[in-house]
Amino acid sequence: MRTVTVTGDALALDDLVAVARGDADAVMGEGVAARMAPSRAVVADAVERDKVMYGITTGFGALADTHVGRADLERMQLALIRSHSAGVGAPLPDDVVRGLLLLRARTLTGGYSGVRTELPAKLLELLAHDLLPVIPGKGSVGASGDLAQLAHLAQPLVGEGRLRRRGDADLRGRPAAELMAEEGIEPLVLAPKEGLSLINGTEPMQVLLALAVDEIGLLVKVADIAAAMSVESLLGTDKAYDERVQVIRPHPGQLDSAGNLRRLLAGSPLVASHRESDHAVQDSYCLRCAPQVHGAVRDVLAHARRVIDIELGSIVDNPVIVPDGEVMSTGNFHGEPLAFAGDMLAIAVSELASISERRTDRMLDPAFSRDLPAFLARNPGTNSGFMIAQYTAASLVSENKVLAHPASVDTIPTSGNQEDHVSMGWTAMRKLREVVANVRAVLAVEVLAASQALDFRAEVAAPSAAGAAVLARVRRDVATMDEDRNVSDQIVAVDALLVEIVAAAEAAVGALD
């Protein structure tokens, strides 16, 4: 297991994903204390002189004009964590919470928040002990940060709220004080500004977007592989992917997808077997236009990747102490850039499933499948084959049309109309996570159907090297369906193999774009 060092500088997406998924741990860098000291000194001075500064010696949100006396400053910070722990819904899963612990520690170590090093250190201590705050999944409007989620993240630092161990089946956890005592972890007493600095920020949105960007990076490759298998299964042509026609509309994602399809289909005996046939002039759109659709998804993914890369090096606290010592209120906690990226990505990746389902349907429908058995059943009539797998894909595609409705076009005022425009970015990210899971399943259905179709086409010719490699990998876990059996189990099995399916194809033809 590798180690990610938290210094306050930008985190790499790959490092965040590795920590979130438990493939890396995280430690605080040696220079963090010196980096954080100047801003902490500014806060200490403001408290000492009883200067009016938002969130340090005043209330919060609509209460920003309410001065708080020195004797109540620590109590105010604790009360803030308690009052803002107002989330509802099912707890966030392990990978999201692990990512949150890392990202909030990274923001605080940036040196703009005016807090002690004990705060990021305690977050990383929980991470090191595999203790995860129980964070309800609903209740953020995506501005002032994801306040409720971050407050629930912060509760265990003061010995309150609930914790669970990573991997626990019961996501409700136990009282944080109990688990911390078992691990010998001491709770903190919050100093001025520290409660506020724990809950202002976009990190929950960041985690969900980062994990989605990483997963969709896999799915765009899977989509190209599935399309290539479907082209072979449907006796399609590779002419539409020729570089000569692709370069005259040179969108970057389209060029990458078309290049992948050329590599995946290179040397295919199946494609060669009917190259001069009458039907090979033009395929249906779901085959012919795959690079244009898959490529457009890739271009939106590239934009989302730029957004999250910037966000992973940004300071999203409020207020912040800038290097010259001035305490400044900021709107950097507003989630609009993330909200737009999440909404655009949900719309785009939904189309991977939409076009995939059409390819699956063509393989199952004897009117369009070019002599494949009806529904890819060995004995149609007695067996229904993959008929209902297409129903499942169609259902998920239709569900995605609802989930892809943008959340970021909405806003609702909060905090006595002080916070009168919000991003709804958290809703956008939660929907995106559901869309991605649906897309995975739809692509798994296509790979499953194409594998069955390639088994039937063996009587005609062999598939490409990539197609043969993927088919062999699928068949290690999922046998050909000669007689009807539980289809759900097969879909789930292929879904779990997507990383290995890409690896099998790349082992045959080299790295895909």
The residues that are catalytic are: 54
Cα angle: 175, vertex 181, 187; to 5 degrees: 80
* Per-residue CA distances from 469 to 353, 446, 458 (Å): 23, 16, 14
Task: Report whether 189 contacts 195 (CB < 8 A).
Answer: no
The burial class, CB within 10 Å (0-12 / 13-18 / 19+), for 129 is middle
Quick one: DSSP state of residue 383?
B
CA nearest 161: which of 202, 198, 118, 111? Answer: 198
Within 13 Å of residue 102, how many CA atoms lie on the same side as its CB? 35
HEC string of 61-96 equals: HHHCCCECCHHHHHHHHHHHHHHHCCCEEEECCHHH
Task: Report whether 305 contacts 209 (CB < 8 A).
Answer: no
Instruction: For residue 227, give every residue at least 6 positions away whose Cβ sits within 8 Å of its Cβ, in sequence order, or none.
Output: 261, 287, 290, 294, 356, 359
Q: Rounded to the nearest 5°, which phi and psi values hold at 204?
A: -60, -45
**From the centroid of its chain, how far is CA 13?**
11
Instruction: For residue 283, give every residue at least 6 positions away whose Cβ sits within 8 Å of its Cβ, in sequence order, or none.
Output: 231, 234, 236, 237, 240
Task: Report whether 122 contacts 163 (CB < 8 A).
Answer: no
Distance CA 205, CA 375 (A): 41
Task: Report whether 480 contacts 449 (CB < 8 A).
Answer: no
* Per-residue CA distances from 483 to 305, 375, 390 (Å): 44, 12, 18
Whether the ω angle into residue 319 lies within 30 degrees of 0, i.e. cis, is: yes
HEC string of 456-475 equals: HHCCCCCCCHHHHHHHHHHH
Distance CA 155, CA 249 (A): 53
Q: Rounded to the nearest 5°, which phi and psi values hold at 301?
A: -60, -40
Distance CA 292, CA 260 (A): 13
Distance CA 67, CA 500 (A): 59
Task: Report whether 112 contacts 317 (CB < 8 A).
Answer: yes
Task: Report whether 247 contacts 256 (CB < 8 A).
Answer: no
